[in-house]
Amino acid sequence: MSTPAAQSVLFVCVHNAGRSQMGAAFLTHLAGDKVQVRSAGSAPADAVNQAVVEAMREVGIDISAETPKVLTAEAVQSSDVVITMGCGDACPYFPGKRYLDWKLEDPAGQGVAAVRPIRDEIEQRIRGLLAELGIQAAR
């Protein structure tokens, strides 16, 4: 029997095919089991953006098996921190949750070269979030 994670973080974007997938993957990679990680989209795509998969592979994180998931009120309710990445008004609001809105360029329709700076910015924001939560990032 495992102990529950101290914090639960939900990443939300429209298609759950790019930014939110990268955020979830970086947080999982850097925090391990110290944080429960979810991602979802208000209008999920059929598959994760292949340029995003390739950009993450370049930094040693394989998200090729991930699939976009639909955003539910239950996912928001069961999360301590909700990070929106361009989901607009589609994200349900629940009092008592910590909401962060990360303004990031959308990688949809872009190649790997355009995704890299978005990926790198997300990684830096994840490292900052871990510091705020008092969690040592894995190397």
53 is catalytic: no
60: exposed, middle or buried (C-beta count within 10 Å: 0-12, 13-18, 19+)? exposed
Kind plus residue range of the DSSP H or E element containing 52: helix 50-58
Residue 68: CB partners within 8 Å, gap ≥ 6? Answer: 15, 16, 17, 21, 41, 44, 45, 46, 47, 48
Residue among 9, 10, 12, 13 flagged as catalytic:
13
Residue among 37, 91, 104, 129 flagged as catalytic:
91
Residue 121: CB partners within 8 Å, gap ≥ 6? Answer: 104
Residue among 9, 87, 115, 137 flagged as catalytic:
87
Amino acid at 86: G
52 is catalytic: no
87 is catalytic: yes
How many whole angstroms separate alpha carbon 101 and alpha carbon 115?
A: 19
Catalytic residues, by residue number, are 13, 87, 91
